[in-house]
Amino acid sequence: MLRLSTPGFSRFIQAGSFNATYGGGEANVAVSLAQLGVPAGHVTRFPDNDLGRAATAQLRKYGVQTDHILYGGNRLGIYFVEFGAISRPSKVVYDRADSAFAGIEPGMVNWEEVLAGAAWFHWTGISPAISEGAARTLAEGIRVANRLGVKVSADVNYRRNLWQYGKTPREVMPELVAGCDLILCSKGDAKDMFGLEAEKDSGSPWLAAAKEIMKVYPRIKRIVNTKRESVSASHNTLAGMMWNGQDHLTTRVHPIVPIVDRIGGGDAFVAGLLFGLGHYPTDQEALDFAVASSVLKHSVEGDANLVSVEEIETVMKGDSSGKLLR
């Protein structure tokens, strides 16, 4: 998607220009991973016009493999952002109906080729919400990944105002999630997507939900979540949690102030987690890396987390001092 954000703290009605970047859940994860030095590719469908080519060019710039991007369809999805401050929230206006991606259909992607040699296949709950073709193409990819032994991760991410094509998430998601090895899922997602109601009296309702999900979807080995407290539009705190079937892991609570750009924080968390699981011996370290990755994202303009392993590890190890590097 093309992201158009008003400059500074301008409101939409004031803006005489928009800053332009290209992003989207899965693309953000791919860019973040590529910046961490991990080979990462992106599969989507862009319109066969100058905007589609510009979107591809940006992904390529940040090191993402773009050979499997398809071209065709009507338009590039767009979303508009204005950044909040103090108690005024940031605001997103989506304009992604009828996008090239919505027109994707099973058979268009050569999943065998795409997934050959991959460690992970990552998707978000946005994709199956866009169109039936997108949902079915995704299902197709998950099946191939499962067959090839490529692990599957998902950011479940329920958005009420998507899902307009006649199916509900509860009809579509179970099949997709059943093929996953790892999911990012909030307590709310558990309810909205799967109808799983965490026990009210539980000490940790999220943990209860996570355990329930694992029962239903035995392939899932890890369920993660982030806990964001919003002091103001400019000041949040962030922590991570994981249920890996054995332990309920949590991280320290990171202050995030002043927020530069919070879009893509969840994608930075996922990218950090996938990196961490492949590079650290313990889930705790992977989770700590994931949260540190997400914290740093809030300091980076644009959707994607343009930071290095070294930068994340500094924060992960407890040094949030941001001391000048010369």
Cα 125 to Cα 162: distance, rounded to the nearest angstrom: 10
When computed from its CA atoms, the radius of gyration of the chain, rounded to whole angstroms, is 19
- Count of residues in contact with a second copy, rule CB under 8 A: 85
The type of residue at 188 is G
Q: How is residue 240 written in tokens?
A: 């991570």
Site track 154-193 with a second copy (rule: CB under 8 A), x = hit = -----x-x--------------------------------
Q: How far is the CB of 78 from a second copy (least distance, A)?
A: 7
Site track 270-309 with a second copy (rule: CB under 8 A), x = hit = -------------------------xx-xxxxx---xx--
Beta strands 91-95 and 78-82, pairing class:
antiparallel
Cα 244 to Cα 202: distance, rounded to the nearest angstrom: 18
Q: Which of residues 228-257 bind a second copy (CB under 8 A)?
A: 230-235, 254-257
Nearer to a second copy by Cβ, of 151 and 297: the residue is 297
Residues 281-301, buried b or exposed e (16+ Cβ, 10 A)? eebbbbbbbbbbbbbbbbbbe
Q: How far is the CB of 102 from a second copy (least distance, A)?
A: 11
Tell me how far apart the 2 most distant CA atoms of the chain are, in Å: 56
Nearer to a second copy by Cβ, of 145 and 233: the residue is 233
| 3 binding a second copy? (CB under 8 A) | no
Q: Which of 87, 168, 202, 282 binds a second copy (CB under 8 A)?
A: 87
> Do the beta carbons of residue 112 and residue 149 sit within 8 Å?
no
Q: Which of residues 23-82 bind a second copy (CB under 8 A)?
A: 49-51, 53-54, 57-58, 60-63, 74-76, 78, 80, 82
Q: How far is the CB of 64 from a second copy (least distance, A)?
A: 9
Q: How far is the CB of 31 from a second copy (least distance, A)?
A: 11
* Other beta carbons less than 10 A from residue 15's beta carbon: 16
Q: How far is the CB of 232 from a second copy (least distance, A)?
A: 5
Q: How far is the CB of 11 from a second copy (least distance, A)?
A: 5
Q: How is residue 80 written in tokens?
A: 């508009």
Q: Which of 10, 204, 237, 284 binds a second copy (CB under 8 A)?
A: 10
Nearer to a second copy by Cβ, of 166 and 218: the residue is 166
Residues 235-248, buried b or exposed e (16+ Cβ, 10 A)? ebbbbbbbbbeeee
Q: Which of 188, 245, 258, 278 binds a second copy (CB under 8 A)?
A: 258
Residues 20-47, buried b or exposed e (16+ Cβ, 10 A)? ebbbbbbbbbbbbbbbbebebbbbbbbb
Nearer to a second copy by Cβ, of 151 and 298: the residue is 298
Helix (H) or strand (E) holding 222: strand 222-232
Nearer to a second copy by Cβ, of 59 and 173: the residue is 59
Cα 75 to Cα 67: distance, rounded to the nearest angstrom: 20
Nearer to a second copy by Cβ, of 9 and 217: the residue is 9
> Do the beta carbons of residue 325 and residue 286 sit within 8 Å?
no
> Do the beta carbons of residue 176 and residue 135 sit within 8 Å?
yes
Euclidean distance between the first and the last CA atom of the chain, given in angstroms as a whole number: 36
Q: Which of 144, 196, 220, 259 binds a second copy (CB under 8 A)?
A: 259
Q: Which stretch binds a second copy (CB under 8 A): 179-187, 191-199, 202-210, 312-320?
A: 312-320
Nearer to a second copy by Cβ, of 97 and 253: the residue is 97
